[in-house]
Amino acid sequence: MATIETIPSIEANGAKIPLVGLGTWELRGRTCARVVEQALRLGYRHVDTAEMYDNERDVGDGIRASGVKRNELFVTTKIWPSHFAPRALERATLDCLMRLRLSEVDLLVLHWPNPQIPLSETIPALCKMKTDGLARHIGISNFTVALIEEAAQIATEPLVCDQVECHPYLDQSKVIAACRAHGMAVVAYSPIARGNAKNDKVLARIGVAHKKTAAQICLRYLVQQNIVVIPRTSKLERLAENAALFDFTLSEEEMAEIAALANPDGRIVDWSYSGAMKWD
């Protein structure tokens, strides 16, 4: 069973981010609150939500029901790109906090790039949310290398992460390198490729050697590179499994074999606010 001691954190530009968090996309209502509560009781301390998920109230309910002290938690929410104009971003942030019933989030993230509103407007507004005390840290999501560079140049407060789709079937080495050059963490969403990893023969074979599931091997591959993972599950029994990643180590050969699973069609999530993204 996961405990707070068994989920290490990484540091990124002043933020201390637990390497395993709970993703809550598509979780709503009592199910969402129950999964959040159970995850925190097991020892998770990192919860990821977004205004687009329409579940911030439920996440907040789960946090309060868990009884875990607020200062032990790392709560992330994300602002939708239609709210990237400065005043809209501030209103959206306040609305997120109201729904979560928190005075601040640990990490406030821009959910997707929005080319219709210049980063020269949005990034200063995001920085203001930190200096105003509404967010302890700020970050970005689904930003390409070029956008990471642009955002980092504009920001007057440190950006602590880029949250991106990341799993063995997608080569994100360029984005990972850009993040590390700026001291930023990589946070992996869809880290088991929407469940595809569970049926992978390579991951399953490596799992047999370590007495782990294919999904655990997939997640270990990422956390062993200090990539934060936020797998989503609605099954309570999966919560402990998804966090049981720190009692074994993959060999260099195994890591290379898993990296070789990447392919040009590996991307699952290809939505963007403006149409096609020019992915790295």
Asked if the model's pLDDT at residue 69 lies above 50, the reply is yes
Would you say residue 136 lies in a domain?
Answer: yes
DSSP string covering 224-268: TTT-EE--B-S-HHHHHHHH--SS----HHHHHHHHTT--TT---
At 125, which amino acid appears? A
Q: Which two tokens stand for residue 217?
A: 């091997």
Asked if the model's pLDDT at residue 116 lies above 50, the reply is yes
Report the Cα 260 to chain-centroid distance in Å.
23
Average pLDDT over residues 113-121: 95
> What is the pLDDT confidence band of residue 3, given thresholds at 50, 70 and 90?
low
End-to-end CA distance of the chain: 38
Would you say residue 114 lies in a domain?
Answer: yes
Would you say residue 267 lies in a domain?
Answer: no
Task: Judge whether 17 and 139 are in contact, CB under 8 Å.
Answer: no
Instruction: State the DSSP H helix or E strand holding residue 220, giving kind and residue range, or none if neither.
Output: helix 214-223
Average pLDDT over residues 159-179: 98
Nearest to 186 by CA among 220, 206, 214, 159: 159
Domain residues for 191?
Answer: 11-195+225-235
Domain containing residue 37: CATH number: 3.20.20.100
Would you say residue 167 lies in a domain?
Answer: yes
Average pLDDT over residues 34-56: 97
What mean pLDDT value characterizes the chain? Answer: 95
The whole-model pTM stands at 0.96
Instruction: Write out pLDDT tens, residues 58-67.
Output: 999 999 999 9
Long-range contacts of 85-94 (CB under 8 A, 24+ apart): 85/117, 85/121, 85/122, 85/125, 86/121, 86/122, 86/124, 86/125, 86/128, 89/122, 89/125, 89/126, 89/129, 90/125, 90/128, 90/129, 92/51, 93/129, 93/134, 93/135, 94/134
Strands 15-18 and 9-12: antiparallel
Instruction: Write out pLDDT tens, residues 118-159.
Output: 999 999 999 999 999 999 999 999 999 999 999 999 999 999
Would you say residue 88 lies in a domain?
Answer: yes
DSSP-derived letter for residue 277 is: -
Asked if the model's pLDDT at residue 273 lies above 80, the reply is no
Q: Which of 53, 169, 189, 221 is catalytic?
A: 53
53 catalytic? Reply is: yes
Based on the number of CB atoms within 10 Å of its own CB, is 22 exposed (0-12), middle (13-18) or buried (19 or more)?
Answer: buried
Average pLDDT over residues 65-92: 98
- Confidence at residue 237, expressed as pLDDT on a 0 to 100 scale: 85
Would you say residue 30 lies in a domain?
Answer: yes
Would you say residue 214 lies in a domain?
Answer: no
Nearest to 113 by CA among 140, 93, 138: 140
Instruction: Write out pLDDT tens, residues 236-258.
Output: 889 999 999 999 999 999 999 99
> What is the pLDDT confidence band of residue 5, given thresholds at 50, 70 and 90?
low
Average pLDDT over residues 165-189: 98
Instruction: Write out pLDDT tens, residues 195-241.
Output: 899 999 999 999 999 999 999 999 999 999 999 999 999 888 899 99
Report the Cα 85 to chain-centroid distance in Å.
23
- Confidence at residue 98, expressed as pLDDT on a 0 to 100 scale: 98
Structural domain count, the chain: 1
Would you say residue 111 lies in a domain?
Answer: yes
